[in-house]
């Protein structure tokens, strides 16, 4: 299952039923879980811990040292969960000691051609990065987020769960959960109602999210006034609790 031209450095740990194609490189300090597929001309460096069932397409560069000029070759890490797809030319970098020294990617994500996950990012589960989408350092992306093609996310930004970033956007502020944002710089454009329906959210929950969005963005209130207006909803609706908690914890401010 390992092509003769592939290079596996001493110290790499390769799981069961792993397929590694021609001219790929697996560095020391890499742990590659069971059932992974590494196509030809892939580079995976460590320290990196990769779960099972991941598929790396040609010319992906995974676990490389980051592009932060402060980085001095410290032994930082990359952790990847299970059943992710990294398409052609995808790049994922390890962390820096200026943060937690760790880039973290969950499970069941799709990273399309030439996407980039920078150092110290935290990516959730069931996320899609469309072609050319990139996150700068220290970004956090929640579960079920879709980032449209050729979009860029500024360093330290947070993208809330179930949100949708339109193609070609530049995100410089935090995007709350459930919100669709688009443009340069990205601005809110309603809630991701279609995505929520596909994921089984009830009609009542979607209606409450829509109402919360209107309180925040349509009534001319300040953020604090909107949070006060929504406080009574948080006990009954966990979706509204997620929405308001994200806003309360935002350090960059939210898209407006």
Catalytic pick among 137, 142, 152, 160? 137
DSSP 233: G
Q: Which residues of 67-100 are buried (b: 16+ CB within 10 A; e: fewer)?
A: ebeebeeeebbbbbbbbbbbbbbbbbbbbbeebe
Residue 240, both tokens = 């509204």
175: CB partners within 8 A, 6+ apart: 157, 158, 159, 160, 163, 165, 181, 186, 188, 254, 255
Q: Rounded CA gap, 117 and 226, in Å?
A: 33
In whole angstroms, what is the distance from residue 50 CA to residue 30 CA? 8
Instruction: Compute the distance between CA of residue 96 and CA of residue 86 in angstroms, rounded to an integer.
Output: 22
Q: Which of 68, 120, 143, 174 is catalytic?
A: 120
Catalytic-labelled residue, pool 119, 138, 140, 162 = 119
> Taking the CB of residue 180, how many other CB atoms lie within 10 A of it?
20
Distance from the Cα of residue 111 to its chain's centroid: 9
Q: Tell me, yes or no, if 137 is annotated catalytic.
A: yes
CB atoms within 10 A of CB 42: 24
C-alpha 200/C-alpha 223 separation (Å) is 29
C-alpha dist (Å) from residue 159 to 28, 168, 173: 33, 16, 9
Tokens of 151: 């979009």
Active-site residue numbers?
Answer: 119-120, 137
């Amino acid at each position: 299952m390992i092509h003769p031209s592939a290079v596996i450095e001493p110290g790499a740990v390769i799981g069961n039923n792993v397929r590694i194609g021609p001219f790929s490189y697996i560095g020391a300090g890499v742990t590659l879980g069971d059932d992974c597929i590494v196509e030809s001309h892939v580079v995976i460096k460590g320290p990196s811990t990769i779960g099972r069932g991941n598929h790396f397409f040609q010319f992906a560069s995974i676990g490389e040292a980051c592009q932060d000029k402060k980085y001095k070759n410290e032994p930082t890490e990359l952790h990847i969960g299970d059943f992710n797809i990294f398409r052609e030319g995808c790049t994922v970098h390890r962390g820096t000691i200026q943060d937690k020294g760790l880039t973290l990617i969950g499970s069941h994500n799709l990273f399309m051609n030439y996407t980039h996950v920078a150092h110290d990012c935290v990516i959730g589960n069931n996320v899609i990065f469309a072609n050319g989408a990139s996150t700068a350092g220290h970004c956090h992306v929640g579960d079920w987020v879709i980032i449209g093609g050729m979009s860029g996310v500024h360093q330290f930004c947070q993208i809330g769960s179930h949100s949708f970033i339109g193609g070609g956007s530049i995100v410089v502020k935090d995007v709350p959960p459930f919100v669709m944002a688009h443009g340069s710089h990205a601005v809110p454009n309603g809630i991701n109602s279609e995505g929520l329906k596909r994921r089984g959210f009830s009609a009542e929950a979607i209606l409450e999210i829509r109402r919360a969005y209107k309180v925040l963005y349509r009534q001319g209130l300040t953020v604090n006034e909107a949070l006060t207006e929504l406080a009574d909803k948080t006990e009954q609706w966990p979706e509204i609790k997620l929405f308001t908690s994200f806003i309360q914890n935002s350090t960059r401010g939210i898209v407006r």
